Chains A and B, each alone.
Chain A
Amino acid sequence: MHTASITIDGRKLLVDSKQTIIEAAASNGINVPHFCWHPKLSVSGNCRICLVEVEKMPKLVIACMTQVSDGMIINTTNDRVINAREAVMEFILLNHPLDCPICDEAGECKLQDYAFSHSSGFSRFNEDKVHKPKRVELGQHVMFDAERCILCSRCIRFCDEIAGKHQLQFVQRGDTTTIETFPGEKLDNPYSMNVVDICPVGALTNTDFRFKSRVWEMSFTNSVCTSCSRGCNIEVGVRNNEALRLAPRLNENVNSYWMCDNGRLNSFKNINSPSRINLSQIKIGNNYSDIIWEAAIQNIVDNLKVFKKNEVAFLLSSEATNEDNYIMFKFAKEAFSTENIYCYKHTEMNDEDDILIRGDKTPNSFGVETLGINSSKLQELIQKINSGEIKAIYSLEDSFQENEDLFNSFSQLKYFALHATNNSKFTTIANIVLSASTSFEKSGTIINFQGQIQRLIPSIATEEDERSLDGFELSRWDKFAAWNDKWGKGPKRNSRSSWKIVSEVANNFGIKLKFKSSEEVFLELTQKNSAFSGMTYLKLGSQGMKIKNKNINSEVKVS
């Protein structure tokens, strides 16, 4: 690396000589205002807000395009620069509508922020503003407001460079310039909604979230998307205990700044969908009725005891956390000393690309493999059921993706206990359905296809939790609402993390599992499996870690 020594605002810095001024400044904690520059996109240099002064250069230069060179002396805050910035802001705001009250971006808008920090706070413009179309649907998920657009071209560059689909382009000139999709095209690439995040203003809005909440009314929890084995890092926007919006969170090892539309739109919709299971259900005759936890757990214990040890199989889940799977594994091994432990994995290999989306649609199949179990043995399970060798199954939550073979063979079981978050075809053949928490309601870890172990942090409280007491991220309402206010009192589900349910079952079997939190389960896991050795929730932090060894199967020993 060639280095250059430069001075920014009097600070002497040694930087990579390939960097631009804005990059060099950013990597040293100096923020130069910018609209069109984005660390992952090509430089377009059209907004001009990043103008800085370089000594010996006659004019101000744009920091995002100018490469550093040895001996450069840069000023980002002197009067000349500030004047230029205010002038640029005045130009950008000339035709900008006074839309903040009805604009979804308000509260997290770069233009709004800069209007406070880098603008004179006064407009000299008395003429009529240029009017452009509002509410233009660029694609199914993205709404465009042409008046708010500041023509930074970030959205165009995103489609071209990251999503690899040329779908957006500038049309017209001067103050009538606007963005359109190419004729006959729609903004429909699988990553289209990332343009909403990178749009520095509210010109592009998320049609799914539009007007649901103001950003300052939500709390934001760092978690991980569970729609495929990439495990994009996300930020869950919650108001009144309801997830309203997901947005990607930077993690250079996993997803960079992006996430796919499917994960963003669909991974949280099961929480409050009509099919959500609210309390455990027991099958009586052909109907299901609610059953309290104690009775549900006793039912499993009583029924599993009826069978011989080798007649019972256990299903781990690639959709459950490592903690859930470990407890189930431990229970199966200790109470049944069985080899009949299986797992299912849902893949759609034709829906995989070389950007983010993975064909493996389960978030934690890798985690199950660290226990020495993988989905390749599933056929064996089907055979054993069909031949009557296995008569009962206890399974963690899994959608099984309506797999016909599995369904037919599970239908023959004498006893089928299933953890589930939502009703599906498989819950109609279960003898008992235990109400499991979704990935937004529980704490735990999952391992993505690269071996990156990451934390799920609960953002939605279940009936067992109290947002303000149990360490949830809190919005203003959560903090200040009294018992008789409506705020923060959205629906809560009567569900539990699977490891808790299985622990209860195990306890009633006489196997004492005294874990108080998923963290305690994880600590035991780190002692039992060298792949996790030395890890703690604290060390995993918000970015996760790589697990140490991919093939540690044989090393897992319980107790």
Chain B
Amino acid sequence: MNEFLKKSEIKRLKNLTFLQRLYIPEILKGIRITLRQIFKPSFTIQYPEQKFIKPESFRGRPVLVEENGVERCVACGLCSRVCPALAIDVQSAETELEKERYPEIFEINMLRCIFCGFCEEVCPEEAIIMSSDYELSFTDYNSAIYGKDKLLVPIEKVQDRLDHLHRTR
């Protein structure tokens, strides 16, 4: 029993009507709603057989854009600096190409990444962008660290995202 309030002190916010106090009509109302939903088209997607249609702005795992066989990235380190989860590790080095710098090592720890898209937003070269790929699974810690081999994606495959960025920026 409540030791602080006496029963007479408990006030109901509003008094129920007789019908409501019977409960049965209310239960029937609920059943009616349920029955109505059964015959409506279903919301559930049968993943993984079925996949949902992603909106254009969907942020999947970050990838590096590969153009003419090399990464666009110049290893400026801004994505690494801005990443709130400290997921990105870049080691720059000199290249003979006109861009002078390139990432010798580029790693994203996908266990840390929170898919915020800050790296995409800060990149001065449009070199790192959010792909539509969200299906990630790892069996151990090291396989969750994606190196350049997993991150580089040819530009043709991510053209949609680049177009979206150009439209919305």
Contact = CB atoms under 8 A, between A and B. Distances in A.
Interface of A: 100-102, 106, 134-135, 210-214, 216-217, 477, 480-481, 484-487
A135 B81 contact: no
Nearest to B98: A134
B118 to A, nearest CB: 15
B100 A135 contact: yes
**Chain B interface residue number, banded:** 20 to 34
Contacts of A481: 86
Interface stretch (B6-14, B57-65, B88-96): B88-96
Given A212-B92, A217-B77, 10 more contacts: A101-B76, A102-B74, A102-B100, A102-B101, A106-B76, A135-B100, A211-B92, A214-B77, A216-B77, A480-B86
Interface string B64-94: 0000000000111110110000100100111
A486 B74 contact: no
B132 interface: no
Nearest to A135: B100
A210 B104 CA distance: 14
Nearest to A479: B86
B99 interface: yes
A485 B94 CA distance: 25
Contacts of A487: 86, 89
B141 interface: yes
Nearest to A216: B81
A211 B109 contact: no
Contact of A101 (B74, B89, B93, B107): B74
A81 to B, nearest CB: 32
Interface of B: 74-78, 80-81, 86, 89, 92-94, 99-101, 107, 109, 124-125, 141
Nearest to A480: B86
A102 B100 CA distance: 7
Given A102-B76, A480-B86, A481-B86, A211 B99 contact: no
B93 A211 contact: yes
A211 B94 contact: yes
Contact of B86 (A101, A134, A485): A485
Could you say which of A101, A477, A480, A485 has the most chain B C-beta atoms within 10 Å of its C-beta?
A101
A183 B130 CA distance: 51
B141 A102 contact: no
A481 to B, nearest CB: 7
A109 to B, nearest CB: 13
Contacts of A211: 75, 92-94, 100-101
A134 B124 CA distance: 20
Contacts of A102: 74, 76, 99-101
A213 B101 CA distance: 11
A100 B76 CA distance: 8
Contact of B94 (A106, A210, A217): A210
13 contacts: A101-B101, A102-B76, A102-B99, A106-B76, A211-B100, A212-B92, A213-B92, A214-B76, A214-B81, A214-B92, A216-B81, A484-B141, A485-B86
B107 to A, nearest CB: 8
A481 B99 CA distance: 30
A486 B94 contact: no
B125 A101 contact: yes
B89 A486 contact: yes
Contacts of B81: 214, 216-217
Contacts of B80: 217
Contacts of B141: 484
A101 B76 CA distance: 5
User: Which 3 residue pairs are nearest across A and B when measured between Cβ atoms?
Assistant: A101-B76, A214-B77, A211-B92
Contact of B124 (A101, A213, A214): A101
A477 B92 CA distance: 16
A217 B90 CA distance: 11
A485 B124 CA distance: 26
Contacts of B93: 211
A211 B96 CA distance: 13
Contacts of A484: 141
A211 B107 CA distance: 17
Contacts of A486: 89, 107
Contacts of B77: 214, 216-217
A216 to B, nearest CB: 6
Nearest to B87: A485
A515 B97 CA distance: 56
A136 to B, nearest CB: 13
A476 to B, nearest CB: 8
A484 B125 CA distance: 30
Contacts of A101: 74, 76, 78, 101, 124-125
A212 B103 CA distance: 11
B76 A485 contact: no
Contact of B109 (A106, A210, A216, A485): A485
